[in-house]
C-alpha cells in the first residue's frame, strides 16, 4: 500500500526551473497508487472517470448454466454496470417443456426503477435460439437477464449469457455472478 502525501509536491517545489527529485517522483507514483487504492486522505476515483464502453466482439464476461423455470420466471443473471456506453449482450433461450413459449428479456434498472425492457423475445423452439443486442447503459444501471415460461407447465431455459465490448475492459459492480474474461492484464 502506498501512503498519500502531498508534502513533496508543494507549488514551491514544483516551481518553474526547479529540478525534480527522487522524493517528488516517488510521491507522484505513490499518490496515484494511493488514490486508486482508496487510501485515507487520497482523492476518490469517480465512476465517470472509468473508461466508457462501446459494443463490439471482445468477450468480457460470461455465465453459462441456467435453470429451467416455469411461468413465474426468474432473473438468471444480474449485475451493476460501472461504466457508461453501449454493451453487446447475448444469450440463448429455449422452451424446455410444455405447451407455451419461452420468453426472455433484458431489463435495465436506473436509479432503482425499471427504465427499459430490451431484447424481449419468445420462442416455441426446444432448441436453443441465440439472441444478440446492443444495450445503452449509464454508470450505476442494473442489468437483469430474465426468462419465464408463458403458461403453467411450460418451462424456459436461458444459458450462455455474454457481455462484449469494442475492446474496452469491463468493470462490473455488485452481483456479477459470472466470470470476467478477456480484460487486459495489469502490467
Q: Do 102 and 156 sit in the same domain of this protein?
A: yes
Residue 67 inside a domain? The answer is yes
Q: Do 66 and 26 sit in the same domain of this protein?
A: no
**84-107: average pLDDT:** 91
Q: Do 38 and 104 sit in the same domain of this protein?
A: no
Q: Do 85 and 145 sit in the same domain of this protein?
A: yes
Q: Which residues of 48-77 are buried (b: 16+ CB within 10 A; e: fewer)?
A: eebeebebbebbbbbbeebebbbbebeebb
Q: Do 73 and 130 sit in the same domain of this protein?
A: yes
How confident is the model over 8-36, as pLDDT tens digits?
888 888 888 888 889 888 888 888 888 87
Short-list 138, 93, 99, 97, CA closest to 116: 138
Residue 29 inside a domain? The answer is yes
Residue 186 inside a domain? The answer is no
pTM: 0.76
Number of folded domains in the chain? 2
**43 with 36: CB under 8 angstroms?**
no
Q: Which domain holds residue 36?
A: 7-45
Q: Do 85 and 119 sit in the same domain of this protein?
A: yes
Q: Do 100 and 16 sit in the same domain of this protein?
A: no
Within 13 Å, how many C-alpha atoms sit on residue 5's CB side?
12
Q: Do 91 and 168 sit in the same domain of this protein?
A: yes
How confident is the model over 112-152, as pLDDT tens digits?
899 999 999 999 999 999 999 999 999 889 999 999 988 88
Q: Do 15 and 68 sit in the same domain of this protein?
A: no
Q: Do 36 and 84 sit in the same domain of this protein?
A: no
Strand partners, 121: 104
Residue 152 inside a domain? The answer is yes
Residue 158 inside a domain? The answer is yes
Q: Pick the most confident of 86-90, 106-110, 137-141.
A: 86-90
Q: Do 113 and 139 sit in the same domain of this protein?
A: yes
Residue 1 inside a domain? The answer is no
C-alpha cell at 187: 502490467
Q: What pLDDT shows up at residue 187?
A: 43
Residue 53 inside a domain? The answer is no
Q: Do 82 and 153 sit in the same domain of this protein?
A: yes
CATH number at residue 175: 2.60.120.40
Extended strands (E) in the chain: 58-63, 74-80, 85-97, 102-110, 113-123, 129-137, 142-149, 155-165, 179-180
User: What band does 176 get if pLDDT is binned at 50, 70 and 90?
Assistant: low
Amino acid at each position: 500500500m502506498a501512503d498519500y502525501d502531498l508534502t513533496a509536491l508543494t507549488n514551491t517545489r514544483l516551481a518553474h526551473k526547479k529540478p525534480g527529485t527522487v522524493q517528488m517522483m516517488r510521491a507522484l507514483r505513490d499518490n496515484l497508487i494511493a488514490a486508486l487504492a482508496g487510501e485515507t486522505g487520497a482523492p476518490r476515483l469517480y465512476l465517470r472517470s472509468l473508461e466508457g464502453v462501446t459494443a463490439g466482439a471482445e468477450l468480457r464476461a460470461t455465465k453459462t448454466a441456467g435453470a429451467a423455470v416455469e411461468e413465474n420466471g426468474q432473473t438468471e443473471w444480474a449485475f451493476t454496470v460501472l461504466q457508461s456506453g453501449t454493451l453487446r449482450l447475448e444469450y440463448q433461450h429455449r422452451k424446455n417443456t410444455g405447451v407455451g413459449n419461452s420468453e426472455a428479456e433484458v431489463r435495465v434498472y436506473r436509479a432503482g426503477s425499471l427504465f427499459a425492457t430490451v431484447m424481449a423475445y419468445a420462442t416455441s423452439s426446444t432448441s436453443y435460439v441465440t439472441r444478440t443486442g446492443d444495450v445503452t447503459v449509464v454508470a450505476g444501471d442494473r442489468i437483469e437477464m430474465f426468462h419465464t415460461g408463458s403458461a403453467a407447465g411450460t418451462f424456459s431455459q436461458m444459458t450462455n449469457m455474454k457481455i462484449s465490448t469494442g475492446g474496452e475492459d469491463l468493470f462490473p459492480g455488485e452481483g456479477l455472478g459470472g466470470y470476467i474474461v478477456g480484460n487486459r492484464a495489469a502490467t
